[in-house]
Structure formats: C-alpha cells, structure tokens
A = this chain, B = another copy of it.
Amino acid sequence: MNKTRVGIINVTGYVGMELARYLQQHPHVELVSVTGRSAAGKRLGDVFPHLAGLDLTIQTELGDVELAFSAMPHKESAAVVAPLVERGLKVIDLSADFRLKDAGQYPAWYGFAHPQPPLLADAVYGLPELHRRQIAATSLLANPGCFPTGAILALAPLVKAGLISDDIIVDSKTGVSGAGRGLTLGSHYAEANEDTTAYALEGHRHLPEIVQELTALGGEPRVTFVPHLVPMARGILTTCYATPKETTGREGLRQLYRDFYKNEPFVRVVTAPPHTKHTWGSNLCLVYPTVDARTDRLVIISCLDNLGKGAAGQAVQNMNLMLGLLETAGLEAPAVYP
C-alpha cells in the first residue's frame, strides 16, 4: 500500500515536534515535509535529537503533501490554512482558528476578526467521540484544545443525558508544556518547580470551546473554568463538579459512562482516581466519574497527556478518520511509565 504523504507546518513547537514523533511510527502515512521559520534549513534531527530517525530538513514552505497539519499560532494559522484547503488538501489545524463556530467570538477571545467565516462553517471540531462521522467527511479539521478535550470528555455523557444542572465547575491542572516552547518567566524551571498557581481567572481562551461543545449536547451550561499550572512537563488532570437533577448512585453513573464510551479506543472509564502519568506519551484519556455521597454532588475527573490526546495524538486520530485508516493506527504505543 502506498503511504499517504503528509506534512507539518511549524514543526518547531511542542505540538509540531510531537506530531512528528507520532507520524514517525505510523504504518500508513509518511511524513515528507516539515516547515519552521527559525530553524529552516537545518536537519530535523539536529534541532530535535530524538527525531533523528526522520530524514528530513526543515523547510520554509510546505512540500507536496496530501494532508497537512498546521501547528502555527492562532491567527497566523488561518492565513496559512485557507490557501491549502482551496488547493484541495486535507488540513488539520491544531490552532484555535477553526474551533469556534461563531466567528463573532474571535475578536473577544483571540483579538482578531476571523478572516474566513465561510471556512469556519466548513470546519469540523475534531473530537472523534462526538463528531466521528463529520470528521471522516471533512477536509478542514479543527483539532480541539487540550483543556476542552479533557473537560468535554469528562462531562459529555452527563450533559447529553440531561442529568445535571447547568452550573458546572471545571478545575484543571496542567503541566508546563501546555504553555508552549516559547520562553516566559512562568515556564522557567526555577520559577515553576515547587510551585502551583492558578491563572487566566479573567477567562481562559479554552472556555468558549468547552461551552460550545457542551451546549451542542444540551442545556445552557454556565461553566466556571480555572486552569492551574503544576510542576510537570506533560499532563492535564481536570476535576469537574456538577449537581445532578436527581440523586444518582455511583454505579449507575459509572455505567452511564461505560455505555457512552464503550466503543471508544482512546477513552477509558476507570474505577479509581486516574493519574496523568498513566497517559504520558499516549493518546489515552482516562475518565473517572464519582459521587460525593455527603453532598450528592457529582465529581468527574479526566486526565490525558496535553501533547497526546490533548493535541498531537488526537490530531493523528483525526487524520486516521479523514484518510479512512484504522482509527488507532500509529497510536497503539502504551504510555511510558514511570
């Protein structure tokens, strides 16, 4: 079988390099082109020694590919992606530029007017557990944010079943790579180690994504989302709090989740509080639903690798769907633990 030729735009960030790592192991696609401004002209393996097995030079322009991943920053990504879609390529955009259905949200949350509202309408939000069929049919995929992936997977079964009130709290804890490879004081080792803090309390950009997808499942969710930075490189643990419309037993709750995710290769409903480390380097999302019996409140915990199911792994899963490949191809490797 001929391998499908794929490329990565902006391979030099954490998401781009993790895409390359996954694609290197993929049986049915071949990574033939990678771009990156700062490192253009260099061998990929010289910039990222762990990728030395890929015989590629970083280019300024994308080569001849059938499917492209864009790991460009938001706003810049839309500008790069539009012409590719017009040329008939399949595109998976890992920025936020095609995630929000309502173009009117971009100025408020991202500070720019969306340049391509019609494309926005065509784009599919790439959470396979909710939109598998549309993903398989689209040419433009908006890969979900890392926090939204964990939050939506944690809450979708309850919201869709209409079992909880609209008041939802999402308390997330993320590792530092989620903030990217750019240099900021907050990601300086000496500042981040031995520290935990909350941030973006005025409203994190991933909030409208969470609200959009939950709303589509039912109700008018009023979500308070507080992300926290904890000292680890990878991983997001999300603790969701919700009020059931009627008293729910723990076992019934778990069965609801098991049923919802029973055919999902990358969501596992677990029976003990999950550890981010059990997803390290993989495309897995673990979900743990439980009930605080004293207050009848529901507590749903999910965890994932922000660069795996939270970004590059999920993008490969989406690619598999878009190319008609086995959904799990290239994603079978278990997490690296400890």
Q: State whether B173 touches A173 (Cβ < 8 A).
A: yes
Q: What 0/1 readout, one digit per residue, does chain A (202-235) give for beta carbons within 8 Å of chain B?
A: 1100010000000000000011101010111111
Cβ A224 vs Cβ B297 within 8 A: yes
Please, how many angstroms separate the alpha-carbon atoms of A226 and B199 in the complex? 19
- Given A190-B177, A299-B226, residue A51 in contact with residue B334 (CB < 8 A): yes
Least CB distance from A31 to B in Å reads: 12
Within 8 A of B (CB), among A225-265: 226, 228, 230-235, 237, 239, 241, 243
Q: Flag the segment in A75-83, A91-99, A128-136, A179-187 that touches B.
A: A179-187
Q: Are B197 and A226 in contact (CB under 8 A)?
A: no
Residues of B near A1 (CB, < 8 A) are none
Distance, CA A335 to CA B52, complexed state (A) = 10
Residues from chain B with a CB closer than 8 A to the CB of A203 are 293-294
Instruction: Tell me the bound Cα distance from A281 to B176 in angstroms.
Output: 20
B interface footprint on A266-305 (CB within 8 Å = 1, 0 otherwise): 0010100111111111100010101011110101010100
Question: Known contacts being A181-B185, A299-B224, is A191 close to B334, with CB within 8 Å?
Answer: no
A278 with B226: in contact, given A189-B193, A194-B234, A198-B273 (CB under 8 Å)? no
The verdict on A173 contacting B193 (CB below 8 Å), with A295-B223, A297-B224 known, is no
Task: Tell me whether A171 is interfacial, beta carbon within 8 Å.
Answer: yes
- In the complex, the answer to whether B276 meets A173 with C-beta atoms within 8 Å is no
CB within 8 A of A191: which of B226, B288, B338?
Answer: B338
- Complex CA–CA separation, A21 to B295 (angstroms): 40
A337 and B192 CA atoms in complex are apart in Å by 11
Q: Considering only CB atoms and an 8 Å cut-off, how many residues of chain A contact the other chain? A: 84
Residue of B53, B184, B222, B235 touching A295 (CB-CB under 8 A): B222
Closest beta carbon of chain B to A174's beta carbon, Å: 9
User: Would A278 and B241 be within 8 Å (CB), given that A183-B185, A223-B295, A228-B173 are in contact?
Assistant: no
Across-interface contacts of A297 in B (CB, < 8 A) = 167, 169, 224
Nearest Cβ on chain B to A2's Cβ, whole angstroms: 21
Taking the nearest CB of chain B, how far is it from the CB of A89, in angstroms? 26
Return chain B residues, CB-CB under 8 Å to A231: 189, 193, 230-232
Highest count of chain B CB atoms <10 Å: which of A169, A177, A336: A336
Looking at the assembled complex, report how far the CB atom of A305 sits from the nearest CB atom of chain B, in whole angstroms. Answer: 9
Besides A50-B282, A198-B239, 6 new A-B residue pairs in contact (Cβ under 8 A), listed by A number: A53-B334, A195-B276, A196-B237, A198-B237, A199-B273, A224-B294
Interface residues of A (CB under 8 A from B): 14, 17, 21, 24-25, 48-53, 167, 169, 171, 173, 175-177, 181, 183-185, 187-199, 201-203, 207, 222-224, 226, 228, 230-235, 237, 239, 241, 243, 268, 270, 273-282, 286, 288, 290, 292-295, 297, 299, 301, 303, 332-338
**5 nearest interchain CB pairs?**
A183-B183, A195-B277, A50-B335, A281-B336, A176-B189
